[in-house]
Structure 1
Amino acid sequence: MRKRIKIFLKIACMIAVVVTALILFSYYSVELRTRSRVYDNIDELPHNKVGLVLGTTKYIYGNTLNPYYVNRIDAAARLFLKGKVDYLLVSGDNGQVEYNEPIKMKQDLIEKGIPEDKVFLDYAGFRTLDSIVRSREIFGQEKITVISQEFHNERAVFIALSKDIDAVGYNAMDVNCKAGFKTNVREIFARVKMMFDLALGIQPKFLGERITIE
């Protein structure tokens, strides 16, 4: 019985070591590769034709505004009005009739003074990989500026570089540690999953006909 317990504990320790190594490798590989490509300072950010705004739900806990969403919209509008991008591509989930992230983002950007004809919609940005790959395969962009929070930008830019897309990220304001705790924990495992997706060549859920941004 004791021998079995020892074997079990040894296997459990080995699994724990492997999982920890995967987490550390995934997390810090992303940070190291993208460190020079994500920007807080808008003046240092290079100009790109298109800014890709990564979607998230507008409301949480019923009717409470999601600070991640609010800050991304603010950052996207700031980039456009500063002349750092010429168009905005808003990419999000439209998997249900009553749930449409891109439309909400476009409406809020227009309210902030962005011309309607400068905002393009990607209705099939179900996850970050989909949004990044579709920006090239559907919308024809070889260079993009990704707009989200820093942790998300790092992962998105890493995906883009792995797919031979020349990407930089502009960091929207983050949320406080308490409000963002679950999101930050989830990001750790999202990076591990991303590594597997890239290794396995996982493709977007939907592609479709090409759309010209001009």
Structure 2
Amino acid sequence: MKLHKKIKIFLVLFCLPLLVVFVSNYSIESFAKGKTYSNVTLIKKNKVGLVLGTAKTLVNGRINLYFKYRIEATVALYKEGKISFVLVSGDNSTKGYDEPTDFKEELIKRGIPSEKIFLDYAGFRTLDSVIRAKEIFGQEEITIISQEFHNERAIYLAEKHDIEAVGYNARDVSRRYGFKVQVREYLARTKVFLDILFHVKPKFLGDKIEIK
């Protein structure tokens, strides 16, 4: 094979994935522009705030700052009257790992009444959390609570499934602290388009639950 042909093949194999990642990231950021808020006084009121789950602690046993800051953001929204109920959606795929309950316990400690908190134990992915908020919990307008980069992707998914969504941005972490998460986010944004293209559904649906 001639050298120039090998170079062309290399460029295609190397550049095409990068282009896909760039376009995916740009599309999601552009779509979510003006739909995420960091000031609690500016965001509109919605009945339900959807908190996207994450682990409470890191492997080293320290508190996960993503968890801590999402808790703080949720409490701020509730105390300002910008949400009336909290829907915590996270992973509970094994007996010893329960993101939703960890969030609920901490939210109760911060003053949100237990009866105002609903748990979705099958939020294995952002896609699952967003679609189940509508299909199981009946919400067609929601406030999504997570870090800004995560909110942007969730809002894109929500709108593509006929859910009107805004995002309230929890405090972000340093680049060094969140480096692995940031790398995964670029890949997750690319996968969003595959999920939409192939009409991927949540792993589980189930009986409807009324939030009231």
TM range (shorter): over 0.9
Work out whether 1:206 is the aligned partner of 2:204. Answer: yes
Deviation at residue 17 of structure 1 after TM alignment? 2.3
Counterparts of 2:129 and 2:59, CA distance in 1: 25
Per the alignment, residue 66 of structure 1 pairs with: 64
Per the alignment, residue 32 of structure 1 pairs with: 30
Question: Which consecutive residues of structure 2, in runs of 5 or more, have no partner in the other structure?
Answer: none
Per the alignment, residue 125 of structure 2 pairs with: 127
Counterparts of 1:11 and 1:17, CA distance in 2: 10
Question: Which consecutive residues of structure 1, in runs of 5 or more, have no partner in the other structure?
Answer: none
Q: Report the identity percentage.
A: 49
In angstroms, what is the RMSD of aligned CA positions?
A: 0.9
Per the alignment, residue 172 of structure 1 pairs with: 170
Work out whether 1:181 is the aligned partner of 2:176. Answer: no
Per the alignment, residue 11 of structure 1 pairs with: 9
Q: What is the letter of the counterpart of residue 153 of structure 1? A: N
Counterparts of 1:54 and 1:73, CA distance in 2: 10
Q: Residues 103-152 of structure 1: CA distance to partner in whole angstroms, max 9, x if unpaired?
A: 11000000000000000000000000000000000000000000000000
Counterparts of 1:68 and 1:198, CA distance in 2: 27
Per the alignment, residue 41 of structure 2 pairs with: 43
More helix by share: 1
Counterparts of 2:90 and 2:29, CA distance in 1: 24
Deviation at residue 15 of structure 1 after TM alignment? 2.0
Q: Residues 38-96 of structure 1: CA distance to partner in whole angstroms, max 9, x if unpaired?
A: 00111110000000000000110231100000000110011111100000000000000
Deviation at residue 9 of structure 1 after TM alignment? 2.5
Q: What is the letter of the counterpart of residue 69 of structure 2? A: N
Q: Quick one: which of 93, 97, 100 aligns to 1:99?
A: 97
Q: What is the letter of the counterpart of residue 25 of structure 2? A: Y
Per the alignment, residue 162 of structure 1 pairs with: 160
